Structure 1
Amino acid sequence: MSQRSLGDPSITFPLRPPLTRGCPRTSTAELAYPLEVDYDYARVPAELFEQQAGPDIARWAPLLPPLHAPTLGEGGTPLLEIGGVYVKDESRNPTWSHKDRLNRVTVSAALGEGAPGVVVASSGNHGASAAAYAARAGLPAIVLASAASPPAVQSFVRAYGAKVLTVPLSARWPLLREIVDRLGYHPVSNQTVTHTGHPYGPEGYKTIAYELFVQLGRVPAAVFAPTGYAELLYGVWKGFAELRGLGVADDVPRMFSCEPATGGPNARAVTNGAPAAIVEVGPTDAYAIDCSVGGHRGVLAVRDSGGGAVLVTDGEMREAQQELARQGLWAELSSAAGLAGHRKLGLDFDGPVVCVSTSSGFKDLGVGDADVPVLEAWDDVTDLVG
């Protein structure tokens, strides 16, 4: 295994240590290029994709970095048919989001490097997941959260014993870098001007592609994914690209990034033919994917798969969220962006379409704040039921 630059794939580095500040040879002060993990694909067992899609991503270990951290049972999430599309329900992971796949891998990297702890800048799913996997591995965790993050989610993070520091949004990444430099904590989120994140992170997400291939018995025609920094989008695309490269599948799905219409750095970069973009963002309740900073991974996934970038409004996400709820799935507003993007685009595809739903509705803003009427008489019941 080695690390390969996405700025210039001919440039490689040893697998260790993880280069968590982007490619040192291709990145500039204005643009940082991520790295990915490369494998000796000739040594991948032919029967790897004959197994079932169950929990614990270690079942895909020949195509993952070393997994030193113990599992919490991540992966093996259900695929449900809803309204003519398939929904991959990632809320069934241990901390109720797709981030568990990433953090099994990145916390493993922290253990492999002998780090005294992990640090993450997150206001939601990523922080909760990193805290849980760090606790399971016996490592301290520091989570840098913004004041706007839901109190319930901050309580969720603290339940795992993490130290939660509430800081201004603009201070999160600079403070994270100081914690890395001064305390030696292992960073499991971004440190660079455009997003690079952890080079091992998307390796966890690509297990979604392996599961989809097993669950469908084929490659889907298209995948629509909620997109913030686009690590999920890229990881799923890479997983399918590996299946094609190994001769297991003949093609890859078209990948569609689905971002809030109030920002959309991946859509901006794709539209402008740029490697990455930084944009101004407006107000949105889809805080989990409300990103001003994009990265090169999402551009590669969309461009190389022949997909596209879709911008969706909060109203369109709410309609998709309500559609999922009517079918028994309580999804976070951000999680409904994939289905909202598919409904908005309105394209027909020659084959199954998958919309990834990333997280539980528990993580939304305002959950638990509504006043609930107290029923005192039968007339109250009939008034309510109709």
Structure 2
Amino acid sequence: MKTTKLKCVKCSKIQPLHNSYFCSFCGSILKVDYDYLPDKKSFEKILLSNERSLWKYKDMLPVKNESNIISLGEGFTPLVPLKNILPDIELYGKAEYLNPTASFKDRPSSVGISVAKEQGATTVAVASSGNAGVSVAAYAAKEKMRCIVCIPKNTSIGKVSQLLAYGAEVNFVNGGYSDCFNLVSQLCEKFGYANLTSTYINPYTVEGDKTVAYELYEQFQEVPDWIIVPIGTGPLLAGVWRGFNELKEMGIIQKLPRMVGVQAKNCSPIAQAYKENREVHSALDWSETLAGGIADQLVGYEQDGDYTNYLINKSGGDFVILSEDEILDIWKKLPLVEGIFAEPTGACSVGAAKKLFDDGIIKKDDSVVSLITGHGLKAPDLVEKFMNDINIPTVSKIDDFNNTK
């Protein structure tokens, strides 16, 4: 599966493999283009490997020399049955919060930074709402690369703590995620740093996301009817969709899943455009949301949202918008009934499954996979914020236990 070029998703023009972020002909999104896919027999041989990281699929990824791979053991996250929260459907949570830095971002970071190393980069930069920055910082530390991270000033203390632990150069930005995105884009253009921001800006990071599809095929032994993904801009959804399409092209599977995106009502530029069947407009009137990991205003890169909506439509899927009350409800309920403590962004995918079932879109006995993208410890401040809703007894001696029953 040789990688020799990049291809524009809009005009299909071919460009060489290098540190490119936009099509030089039309300015649209680039994706990695392969000369060929392995045949069915070759892929089935890959499946026999005992390797337990996403690099099991290295033949399907854009790193030419294995010596350039930077890995912390990412991938191969569990597929957990969620039988209590929605007993009428076959619902699973893909536990992406069990990746090395506690979010799915380790997939795109590992692949993206490995390609950056192969291309000679010594400094990487990333715009982030927290998780992507943490992830890139960890992989940069392993390779002793300089790592520059730009995050909104209201980023959770849990994520900031991780960034500092990994030695990242942390820069707080006034404004939202889009302000961070545009600042890092300018920085990388001026100084030639590798931009590992995990939107569509880096075509190599999306390739890491597609390994979710390969794993789901191995774990599920068939194709789920629905896959639900929290959406900031959409590369995780795009990567998973691409992975399943590659499996179909190789003759491994016959059908494709329906892809569902989910955004918070307070910042939902892509979802609103999907519902209104129009092009995406940036969210200039956005407000804070519990699901800060998907609060992307898309200022200056609205085309990312258009591409995500194109893929959702192509899959026959849907888009869900959750209110703050709905996000809070599912975030609090998930650990209580399923034992899964996710950050609110990750819990959104399960909330979307519930909403689609309640609305009659997901049918009884449908198989559904919700990608639970980040761990609850990413946002410890939220637990403290809502502590008043939890009855926690105080004890000082053995007799006190009788009074707490």
> What TM-score results when the alignment is normalised by the length of structure 1?
0.90
**C-alpha distance 150-42 of structure 1, shift in aligned 2 (>3 A):** closer
Partner of 2:352: 341
Per the alignment, residue 37 of structure 1 pairs with 32
Q: Tell me if the contact between 2:94 and 2:371 (Cα under 8 Å) persists in the aligned partners.
A: yes
Give SS of 1:366's match. Answer: helix
Alignment of 1:43-82 (within 5 A): 43-44=38-39, 45-48=42-45, 50-51=47-48, 55-66=52-63, 68-82=68-82
SS of 1:285's equivalent in the other structure is coil
Q: Deviations over 1:117-158 (max 9, x none)?
A: 100111311010000011112211011121100122111111
CA distance in 2, matches of 1:153, 1:53: 32
Q: Distance in 2 between matches of 1:262 and 1:111?
A: 38
Inter-partner Cα distance in structure 2 for 1:221 and 1:382: 49
Alignment of 1:270-285 (within 5 A): 270-274=274-278, 276-279=280-283, 280-285=285-290
Instruction: After superposing the two structures, state which structure 1 stretch, 326-335 or 291-300, moved more.
Output: 291-300
Is residue 361 from structure 1 mapped to residue 356 from structure 2 by the alignment? no
Deviates more, 1:248-257 or 1:322-331: 322-331
Give the Cα–Cα distance (whole angstroms) in 2 for the partners of residues 318 and 54 of structure 1.
38
Partner of 2:14: 12
The answer as to whether partners of 2:227 and 2:260 remain within 8 angstroms in 1 is: yes
> Could you tell me how far 1:239 is from its partner in structure 2?
0.7
Q: 1:200 to 1:275 in 2, by over 3 A?
A: farther
**Superposition pairs of residues 134-283 of structure 1, within 5 angstroms:** 134-169=140-175, 171-189=179-197, 196-274=200-278, 276-279=280-283, 280-283=285-288
Q: Secondary structure at the match of 1:85?
A: strand
More displaced 10-residue stretch of structure 1: 63-72 or 352-361: 63-72
1:267-322 Cα deviation digits (max 9, x unpaired): 12323444543223223111111122151331132011000111012222233223
Count of residue correspondences: 373
Mapped contact 1:18–1:200 kept (Cα < 8 A): no
Instruction: Kindly indicate whether the alpha-carbon contact (under 8 Å) linking 2:157 and 2:379 is maintained by their aligned counterparts in 1.
Output: no
Task: Extract unaligned runs of 5+ from structure 1.
Answer: 28-32
1:109 matched to which residue of 2? 115
> What is the percentage of aligned positions where both structures have the same residue?
31
In the alignment, is the contact (CA less than 8 A) between 1:226 and 1:335 conserved in 2? yes
Q: Which moved more, 1:168-177 or 1:339-348?
A: 168-177
Please report the RMSD computed on the Cα atoms of aligned residues, expressed in angstroms. Answer: 2.2
- 1:50 deviates by 3.1
Shift of 1:373: 6.3
Conservation of the 8 A alpha-carbon contact between 1:53 and 1:214: no
Task: Measure, in 2, the Cα distance between the counterparts of 1:253 and 1:241.
Answer: 10
**Relative to structure 1, is the Cα distance of residues 211 and 42 closer, same or farther in structure 2, using a 3 angstrom cutoff?**
closer
Question: Which range moved further: 126-135 or 316-325?
Answer: 316-325
Q: Note if contact 1:54-1:75 (Cα within 8 Å) is conserved in structure 2.
A: no
Q: Residues 349, 249 of structure 1: CA spacing in aligned structure 2 closer, same or farther, 3 A cutoff? A: farther
Alignment correspondent of 1:30 = none
Of 270-279 and 253-262, deviating more is: 270-279
Match status 1:127 vs 2:133: yes
Question: Which one-letter code corresponds to 1:18 in the other structure?
Answer: N
Amino acid at match of 1:36: K
